[in-house]
Chain A
Amino acid sequence: MNQEEMKAHVLLAKNGNTDSFCKLYELYYKDMYRFAYYILGNQQDAEDVISETVLDAFTGIAKLKHPDKFKAWIFQILTTKCKRQMAVYAANREHLHADTTDNDLITEDHPYADTLDVRSAYTVLNDTEKTIISLIVFGGYNSRETARILNSTDGTIRSTKSRALTKMAQYLKEDFA
């Protein structure tokens, strides 16, 4: 989809056209799901926040100023939803721990065991680190844009990113020693 088509779809979506809205959504939904799943570590909750995000985005798209910012905007909504969900987890820790070991993250004889190890290394990150790495990887944002979405600063994002990657590398190193 080129820039002009995107603009046209945003315009139509602003007028309540669900077809156009979903064409835009189709461009990003896989990354949105991966983003939510990696942060929340739970399929059901990831599906739920995506649904909520779609509803919020659809009802709020009239307020989107710049059509070319659709992606950044919908990720901002999704990030806010994920943070709320993490707050629920924080208030209710057993749930979080039960679920991260319960899901399909770690399976010994899975054909892609190696990539699953990277995924399970995610569990060593704290909520802020998960969010930042996910925005960078799945949102495709640089540290400056990530800072903007998280109301933080460029420097904080970069140092948190480095720290998070170091933690993950450490985890993998120990696992494979």
Chain B
Amino acid sequence: MKEQDFLNQIEQSANDLPIPDSISPQNMKNMLEDYKHTKEPFNEEDSNSSNSSTSNTSHKQRYMKWGLTAACLTLCVIGGVYNTHLSRNGDSDTTSKPSADSTALFESDATASENTLTSPKSYSDYYKTIKKAYDAYYNSISSVVTDDFPVTESVASTDSASMINTESYASDTTKEMAVEDSTGTQSTNGYSKTNTQEENVDEGDIIKTDGTYIYRMSQHLDTTDYNTIYKLSITQTDNGNMDVLYNMELNDILSVANDDEISFQEFYLQNNTLFIVYTRSNYQKNVNRTQTYIAVCTLKDKSKPKLIRNLSQSGYYVSSRISDGYLYTISNFYDTSLEKETDYENYIPSIDGKIIECSDLYYPKDVILESTYVVTSLPLEDPTQFTDSKAFASSGADTYVSDSAIYLYCTQYNDVTQTKISRISYKKGALNVGNTATVAGYFYDSFALSEKDGYLRMVATIPANNIALLRDITLKDTASSNTTVTEDVNALYILDSHMNLVSKLTGIAPGEQIYSARFIGDMGYFVTYEHTDPLFSVDLSDPKDPKIVGKLKIPGFSNYLHPYDDTTLLGIGEETDPATQEFLGIKLSMFDISDPEHVTEKDKYIIENSEYSPALYDHKAIMINTTDNIFGFVYTTYNDKNYEYSYYFATYTYDSKKGFKETARYKLNDSNEYDNYDSVRGVYIGDYLYLSTNTQITSYALGTTDPIATVYTK
């Protein structure tokens, strides 16, 4: 699906919506005048809060300027080859369809040695290169017409999107590093940890615990001035009893100047130290400069976290991970201006206040400088300065991090949907910018990617050119006759550490999209959905020859898959009526994967009246520890008999004989309170559950619903 096209459709659909006269500026002025006369005197109280909760318009316009390039540029075309060999025939068996001969789906950079990723000789050299590209782009912008762009039949001809670095590539490093089998279970320490994609790669969150203390970042909207206030609380726990040792605004720890805008992102807890990732924007000469910061706070005195270091890198926060004893942080620098060559900081990212060295700066041959990605590594043992940093020009990106490499992937919605994946390998803090590959399709989220033994395995959905359909809708008189081309397909790709294609399976499940995936060792499982939920199992033990070995069809679909033990896979998703596709509730499924060729749904559990859960889309919202056989998450319910709307946190356990069991359920909202369920996090320590929201933490003995204590962190 071409998202920007669709968004434009929506915008256009509003054009003929009559704007009522009652809200005209003149009528509003009258209303305000009346108000002023009834309500003397005008309130001039000045707020001392330094935060402002929203972003500015000038920044937005600048985003549009650069960001549009993503929508307009059609760099390379991989034509509609992929659906020519597909003939959809009702509900026919689709596993027999996958073919490995469709060459158009992947742009190999095997012969692309001329498309090298370059480091500039000097800043001036860099300036000239990007200025030239910038000018060329804006001169040509009128000739880039996406509407009538011919979808050619030829296979991918240009390799312009791929890039290779000039530095010698350390090809064997990834293989030296043994990759842990990800089927392993989680902590055995008797407390919950952030639910992460990779076992050995930690992810930041809004709550962390070390088994005694609960660290929680909360945010509050100040409804008097619509500013967001961030607060950090540290709560000592002792078998359900709690003591708030610290509860202060983030600005206090960071000692931030009043006019700067702080936006907390996430934090880590390592070595009795907090690593708080936040962004900070300030305005100089009407220019909004945003930097990503890492605040390092020691916790020797829990009632007084002490800021010992505050490191910065240019740009908005993208993502971060802790692995290998280092914090890897990715930011995106795009407030660029090429007005003056000597204003380096306007177009070259800075690391801790100093513009990055030329040798650490990379750009592809076809640079357009939409934005520059900055990656840094910070040693946890001695977090005083970054060990390494790299920057490279690239389009917007999402992140997947394995235990040896950072992957930035970026989907481009041109006439064909394709995703560009760049690899940056890491080892002991040293970063190495690697190759880039482009594949057809998009990833539903980072769980669609997985690296093992240097092989990157990925499942993607390739949308049919449903653009044609959407365009037809705007052609007022045309009944859309050409809508038969709308059929999505799915593909599996395996790349090596040079980002060369090793193998692929295409044409999987025509007409369906991937809803979730999980790679467990040499096996991959993914769910597609149209009317029922086929759970596919793929044998990846030979990366050159992946095989779909099983397919299970059940109603509904899973949005999240989690290895529960060696023979079972937990699915959290939605149950639907196979006939009407009506949503019936949130469903827990336990799949027996002991025989990958005959996967079965051993047990299922449908949560009564449930409507929605953040767990379906954010794995960190799930509290889970398979060793302790416990998991839980928040969900909303709607009871259509008494029209009551609620949200709950519930904990579950699983027994291979008795199936799922809800061990406790906690109602979290009062009357019609509506939108706070997103902030709910559950952690458990020993036998006690602590439910935390933006305003309070309440403790319970696991499996019981009588609160032991409540502390307030507002």
> Which of A19, A80, A137 makes the CB contact (< 8 A) with B223?
A80
Size bracket, chain A contacts: 35 or more
Cβ of A101 to closest chain B Cβ, rounded Å? 17
Enumerate chain A residues within 8 angstroms of B42, measured Cβ to Cβ.
Answer: 15-16
CB pair A18–B29 under 8 Å, yes or no, is yes
CB pair A142–B67 under 8 Å, yes or no, is yes
CB pair B219–A72 under 8 Å, yes or no, is no
CB pair A62–B54 under 8 Å, yes or no, is no
CB pair B56–A22 under 8 Å, yes or no, is no
The answer to the question of A160 belonging to the interface, with a C-beta cut-off of 8 Å to chain B, is yes
Of listed B32, B261, B474, residue having the most chain A CB within 10 A? B32
CB pair B25–A66 under 8 Å, yes or no, is no
The answer to the question of B698 belonging to the interface, with a C-beta cut-off of 8 Å to chain A, is no
Enumerate chain B residues within 8 angstroms of A115, measured Cβ to Cβ.
Answer: 9, 12-13, 15-16, 473-474
Enumerate chain A residues within 8 angstroms of B44, measured Cβ to Cβ.
Answer: 62
> Which of A77, A119, A160 makes the CB contact (< 8 A) with B13?
A119
- Interface residues in B626-675 (C-beta closer than 8 Å to A): 638, 640, 643-645, 671-675
The answer to the question of B140 belonging to the interface, with a C-beta cut-off of 8 Å to chain A, is no
Enumerate chain A residues within 8 angstroms of B470, measured Cβ to Cβ.
Answer: 169, 172
- Interface residues in B605-640 (C-beta closer than 8 Å to A): 611-612, 614, 617-618, 638, 640
Chain A 41-61 per-residue mask, 1 if CB under 8 angstroms from chain B, else 0: 001000100110011001110
CB pair B31–A47 under 8 Å, yes or no, is no
CB pair A51–B31 under 8 Å, yes or no, is yes
Cβ of B175 to closest chain A Cβ, rounded Å? 30
The answer to the question of A136 belonging to the interface, with a C-beta cut-off of 8 Å to chain B, is yes
> Which of B57, B60, B513 makes the CB contact (< 8 A) with A166?
B513
Chain B 186-205 per-residue mask, 1 if CB under 8 angstroms from chain A, else 0: 00000000000000000000
> Which of B12, B57, B286, B476 makes the CB contact (< 8 A) with A71?
B57
Alpha-carbon distance A71/B61, docked complex (angstroms): 12
Cβ of A169 to closest chain B Cβ, rounded Å? 6
- Interface residues in B212-233 (C-beta closer than 8 Å to A): 219, 221, 223-228
Which of B45-53, B489-497, B584-592, B704-712 makes up part of the contact surface? B45-53
> Which of A25, A59, A72 makes the CB contact (< 8 A) with B25?
A25
CB pair A145–B60 under 8 Å, yes or no, is yes
Enumerate chain B residues within 8 angstroms of A76, measured Cβ to Cβ.
Answer: 53-54, 226
Q: Indicate whether A177 sits within 8 Å of B10 (C-beta atoms), given known contacts A63-B47, A142-B67, A166-B1.
A: no
Cβ of A100 to closest chain B Cβ, rounded Å? 15
> Which of B55, B224, B398, B476 makes the CB contact (< 8 A) with A145?
B55
Alpha-carbon distance A77/B261, docked complex (angstroms): 18
- Give the nearest-CB partner of A177 in chain B: B483
Q: Indicate whether A151 sits within 8 Å of B29 (C-beta atoms), given known contacts A68-B56, A117-B473, A159-B445.
A: no
Alpha-carbon distance A115/B11, docked complex (angstroms): 10
Enumerate chain B residues within 8 angstroms of A141, measured Cβ to Cβ.
Answer: 55, 60
Enumerate chain B residues within 8 angstroms of A22, measured Cβ to Cβ.
Answer: 25-26, 28-29, 32
Q: Indicate whether A119 sits within 8 Å of B14 (C-beta atoms), given known contacts A60-B224, A65-B259.
A: yes
Alpha-carbon distance A88/B19, docked complex (angstroms): 24
The answer to the question of B263 belonging to the interface, with a C-beta cut-off of 8 Å to chain A, is yes
CB pair B20–A72 under 8 Å, yes or no, is no
Enumerate chain A residues within 8 angstroms of B263, measured Cβ to Cβ.
Answer: 148
Cβ of B517 to closest chain A Cβ, rounded Å? 14
CB pair B226–A114 under 8 Å, yes or no, is no
> Which of B3, B54, B473 makes the CB contact (< 8 A) with A72?
B54
> Which of B29, B49, B54, B474 makes the CB contact (< 8 A) with A73?
B54
Chain B 464-498 per-residue mask, 1 if CB under 8 angstroms from chain A, else 0: 00100110111110001001001000000000000
Cβ of B155 to closest chain A Cβ, rounded Å? 27
CB pair A47–B54 under 8 Å, yes or no, is no
Enumerate chain B residues within 8 angstroms of A70, measured Cβ to Cβ.
Answer: 57
Alpha-carbon distance A43/B673, docked complex (angstroms): 24
27 contacts between A and B (CB under 8 A): A22-B29, A33-B23, A34-B17, A37-B14, A38-B10, A43-B20, A55-B35, A62-B43, A62-B45, A63-B46, A66-B283, A68-B283, A69-B55, A80-B221, A80-B223, A86-B674, A87-B672, A87-B674, A90-B672, A92-B643, A115-B13, A142-B67, A151-B221, A156-B617, A156-B618, A173-B469, A176-B483
Known contacts A63-B47, A156-B614, A162-B3; 19 further A-B pairs (Cβ under 8 A): A37-B17, A38-B14, A62-B46, A63-B49, A66-B52, A66-B261, A72-B54, A75-B54, A76-B226, A86-B674, A88-B672, A91-B671, A93-B640, A112-B16, A140-B64, A155-B398, A159-B445, A163-B617, A169-B6
The interface of chain A, by Cβ under 8 A from chain B, is 3, 15-16, 18-19, 21-23, 25-26, 29-30, 33-34, 37-38, 43, 47, 50-51, 54-55, 58-60, 62-66, 68-73, 75-77, 80, 83-84, 86-88, 90-94, 111-112, 114-119, 122, 126, 128, 133, 136-138, 140-142, 144-145, 148-149, 151-156, 158-163, 165-166, 168-169, 172-173, 176-177
5 shortest A-B CB distances, which residue pairs?
Answer: A72-B54, A87-B674, A63-B225, A115-B13, A118-B13
